[in-house]
Structure 1
C-alpha cells in the first residue's frame, strides 16, 4: 500500500508485531506472529528474500538459537516461520540482509553472542538458506550488533561487529 509499517521483536512475549502505518504518523492496526515458546526474539529486519517484490521478515530468536524467516504471502499475511539453526547456546542477537556473494540474492548475517561468532546464511531464490558459515570473533568477545557496508571502498561488502566482551569492534573484510 506504499505506507510505511513498523516491525517489532517482542522479546518477553515470544512474537513479532507489525504496526500498519496510516500515512499520518499513526498506526491503523497491528498483526502478531509467534516465534515459538522461549524464543526471545531480539532483532528484526525486512527484505525481499524470494524475489516476489513483497517484504519478508527475518528475526533472531536468542532463546531457541535460530534465525526465523517469515515469507510474505501478500497483504498482511506471512508463511509460518522457517528457522535456521545458529548453534548450541549461540544466542543470536542482531541481523542484517546483504548480497554477500554477488548472486543477486539476499544473504543473512547474524551475531552469535553466546558462540562468539558471526554467522552468514547464503540465500537461495526460493527464500530458503544454506547452512550457516561461521566466522569466529574471539573467545569471550560476545558479538552483539553488526552492520554491513563497503568499509575500504573496494566495492565489496564488509561486516562491522561490536563486541560486548572486548569493548571493541571487529571488521570482517570481504576479499573476493
Structure 2
C-alpha cells in the first residue's frame, strides 16, 4: 500500500472511499471491504481519502480512537492500495469545495463511497449532492450492531469514556 499527501496522487481510474475513518470500526471495515471489492471488479486501484486529525477531533476536541499509524495499518489489512492523508488544519480548511473536486478529479474516480452526511470545502459548502454532480457516488447506509444501533466513532468514544470497554471492543472489530 502506498501513502500520499493531498494532491500527491494521480490515477487513470480509481474507486475511492472518503471519510475520517477514526477507529476503523466494523462499520468502516464493511464499507472499505465493499470499496475494495468494487475496485477489483472494475480492475481499478482502491483509494482511501482520510483526514488527520479527524475533523471531529479538530473542531470539538473529541478523543482520537486510532493513531495515524494504526489507522493506516488497519486500512492496509483490508486490501486498500492507496491512502491519501489530508492534514486537517487551518490551511486545509480554507480550501473551497471546487478545490476538493479538482483534487478528486486527479484520481479519475469510477465510484466514490461517502456517508450520506459528508460535507467538504470551506465552511462545509460542498455536500453529497454536489459530489454527485461531478462523480458517480455511492452513499453509505449506516452499519448497525446486533442491538440495532448505528456503529459510529462517536458511539465508541462515548462507551470508552463511560468505562464500557467490553461494549466498545466488539464495535471496533479489532483489539
Query: Normalization by structure 2: what TM-score?
Result: 0.26
Larger strand percent: 1
Query: Normalization by structure 1: what TM-score?
Result: 0.26
Larger helix percent: 2
Does 1 or 2 have the higher relative contact order (CA < 8 Å, sep 6+)?
A: 2
